[in-house]
Structure 1
Amino acid sequence: MRKLLLVLTLFLPVALYGQNRSIDSLKLRLLSSTKVDSTKADIYYQIAVALQRIDPATSTKYIDTSATLVKQLNYKMGMANIVSFDAVRCSLEGKFDSLFFYSQQCLQIAKQYKLPLAAAKAYNGLGIYHWQTGNYSEAIKNHLAALRIRERYKDEQGIAASMANLAWVYFDNQNNKESERYGLEALELARRIDNPTVVVNAMQILANVYGSTGKYDKALQYDDETIKICNREANKRGLSQAYSNMANCYNELKLYDKALQYQQKVLEIDQFFNDKKQISDTYLNIAAIHNQKKEYSVALKWLKQSIKYATESKFKQGQRNAWQLLSTVYEQTGDYKKALDAHQNYQIASLALVNEKSNEQIARMNTRYQTEKKEQTIKLLAKENTIQKLSIVKQKTTITMIAGLLIVAFIIAVLIYNRNKLKQKALLQAQVITHQELMTKAVLDAEEHERTRIAADLHDGVGQLFSAVKMNLNGLFERVDFTRQEDRFLAENTLALVDESCKEVRVISHQMMPSTSRRSGLASDLKNFIEKIDADKLKISLVTSGFKDKLESNVETMLYRVIQETINNVIKHAQATQLNIELRQTKKLITAIIKDNGVGFDTHSHANGIGLKNILSRIEYIKGTIKYHSLPGKGTKVCIQVPV
């Protein structure tokens, strides 16, 4: 919950090693520099970044002065630095869309004026944006891009910072092993180059890793060391991170009072920076501790404050987490009505994180509905004024008609509202289905890619080694005169085994190669696959018709894999002696019927098997259907239909 506190350290320019000593040194350089040039603009920028963790108001004054000089000098690297500073400021305020915008702007400047180290800063900012928004693969991609540039230019300060960045991303992606590795490398390099900022960052990564894996003593040891450095360097944000991690450790150890003491220290620092997003997060942590202590009334007070600040700072994850805990607290106190209301707010907040556009459409529809309702009210008042001028008989008739019209209007309004609500629900479901299809495609593509890689490694690596062994053995046997018949028999058997291994590796590599890499088509590929199966164990007949043109690559790949997996299942489980495959293609449909005379199986009890699930996911991906007809002892018939 506290990862934002160290965002600044990930952005720091590599010229700043510490806090007080670096600021004092920079101010001395500023005083001694009388010439208005790019060096002076850089010093103002570096002081501004250093003060950002100590005195934000003064930091703003220095960056404004730097920006003025940059504009006067038309200093390109200075332009990138100012935009990078804006990205840092937005990240600290939780404005991640603005963080993305400024990072992209920094990258454009870097590419336009060929400033590689500025590009590294931009990739760094983009990496943090994707990290904060949960897209860990993109975060790692951008941080690695920054790391490559910094390694190329031997930028040790930047290398250490990039390693720390990668450690944080792996930690949030629950890969503690990689997080610890990068954290230790960052810590070692930061200590060697005497960079307290990255030292603190790396130690807090490791403290989080060890705390999350139950190694509380080790985590607290890093926290203690962090606090010493932060006190020496006036690093308030680093202190906040250490206090927060210590509070989490003590909370897990059920030392709730001690955990609360450290959360209060975190809160004081949040309030110093007036960081409403982090204040809401700290309030939520404090409420969680009181909830574990069964102090529900106190927990409720903190939770309401957390929701207030999360709403003001538009911190949607915080709103969602606070509503979720609030529902739990109300449920524990027996107030089920409020628990239900809180849970509904939690669901609304969760939905907001999933689909922003859907909520915008709902808001527009609600505005339109309210406008129509007001117009109907105005018309009703006008009719009432007219009614007052009519006779008593006419008034009754008119009132009756108006009542009927209102009822009809109300019914129509309800129908329109329900219709729009159903449309929104259908739109949301469609988006969820699209997302699931994209995820399925990614998994299947990754699997095919891995099959190709393994097949290539087998063919080009292991296969070539076996061929070399076979050639060497042939040469050796020609030079060796075997005096005993048993030795000759053993040598010939060894050579035969090596020859058989070469063939087996080649067969396996060809079977694993995806059908898209073959040029002969689905029907021909299946024939080649079947020919490699021992006919003495299983006789297979294949009948194909209608396959004149090659299929779309994804369809052909998926169908080949499904039929291949089905045949392998028959070989492994069915104990069959005969397998018949009928494969035909029409203008609109591809049909595959696979029938064996094996032992059969219970389709209901085996429906959740991994193999059958894999087959089903492939068929669903290409919009097809698959049906199993089988009973124990009576063989199995598989019917597959896929649209062309």
Structure 2
Amino acid sequence: MNILINEIIPLLKRVDNTRYLAVNYHNIAMIFMEWEQYEKAEKYHQLAISLLEKHPLLNIEDQYQEYISYAKNCLYQNKTALAKKVLNKATMLLPKTRNPRNYMDYYEVEGMYYTITKEYTKALQSLTKGKSLASKEKENYPERNFSLRIYEVFMAKKAYEKALTVMQGLVKNKPTYKFSKDYLTYYRGLSETYNRIGNNKMAYAWLKKYTKLKDSINAQEIEHKISALEVKFKTTEKEKKIIALNAEKEKANLSAKNSRLVSWLFGIACLFLLVVAALGWLFYSSSKKLTVQKDLNHRQQIEDMDRKQQIKIVQAMLDAKEEEQNRVARDLHDGLGGTLAGIKINLSHYATKNKNNDSPELHQIIDQMDGSINELRRIAHNMMPEMLLNFGLEESLSDLCESLASEKLNIDFKYLGTKHALLPQQQISIYRIVQEAMYNAVKHAAAKNILLQCSQTGHIFYITVEDDGKGFDPACLAEGMGIRNMKNRVAYLNGVIEILSAKNNIGTSINIELEVKS
């Protein structure tokens, strides 16, 4: 929130970027909604909508998502009239969007509206449509969310048997990933439903499961809090010891200085005037040196603070860029990719229906569509590989090497000594660093062999990229956006980078050391 309000928003206002200013107002509103501070969220929803409606051609997808989120925020505040007005605006934009997820969001908010206004039949129609679409798209979590809302409608209608069937299905059909707090809701719902039906035995059984799971979650949360307090306590104790040692050191230095001063005064008492002059000169010299040293220290502190602030700003921009790449990659893959695939299928059906299977022009168009779909997937994969999200850093780097290798280029990849999983943001930074280094080797060095080696010792992560291509003079290297981003990511991880190469020589070696946490 601090980065969005105090860093990103002022920059976007300065460069007058209307679209991203609206997007970030939307992001702030969503954070307030997560905190259940709906009145504060409403302020930023209105700011985003005012910008998007002044420039309606900026991005229909952004405008639709903002209407849906604002309508949901209004419903959380029980402002049904305003929610209906905003939902009608979203209805007009819905056919212009191409993402099936947009229809799921719409049916969810529409179902919430009809539930609050007690139009239960319409609510069930909307929620059932949303659940069917989620099932078709294999979106497990939205499908379960729709089922939960259908359960709430049945409970409101006092159709307890139907509500029980829905809740039993939620518990029975376990997802591939499990959220304990979701099961708290399911167990509590089953207990309440059995109680309403009059089956006290089953109500008590599910209540026991609910209580046991809740106690387990509470115990885990307490354990995490105790661990955090223990770390904080140990850190405080270390800081106290450091302060005490520094105080003792300063006291010892002061005592030694005083002892030397007394010895000097005692030894040359007969030369009082000369001593006074000498001490005056020494005092002046010491004061001057101390002043110079303090000034140097102050300048160094200012430079360190500026450097850290620059790294934070650059990282914030890189994070924003990474997030935008993820969103664009998803839109390309899910939106445009689906559209191209649909066009290809329609062409194939047209060829079969009209018996044009032997038409070389039609087959050429279908082959071109295949190439376009593969190229689109490659672009989306490069912007944010699914391997990194699903299987981790090692598999993603291996996939990158396989994608760059060819008959003319051999890539040897080694991944050694990494026993603990890294933080997601660190994995993304390491992947982007290696990606840039490999792309430079392939694009500029004309190499036949490339060695990529990654290893980890403690909290230090090592990267080595070597090739047998054309060398260059690192001192004359013109830093483009890629090299600059690579160095910024290394600096953010408190790392160092070394580039070994020479003009008119064969081979380049890049060695990188990064500080990481598991």
Q: Shorter-normalised TM-score: what interval?
A: 0.3 to 0.5
| TM-score w.r.t. length of structure 2 | 0.46
| TM-score w.r.t. length of structure 1 | 0.38
Radius of gyration: which is bigger?
1
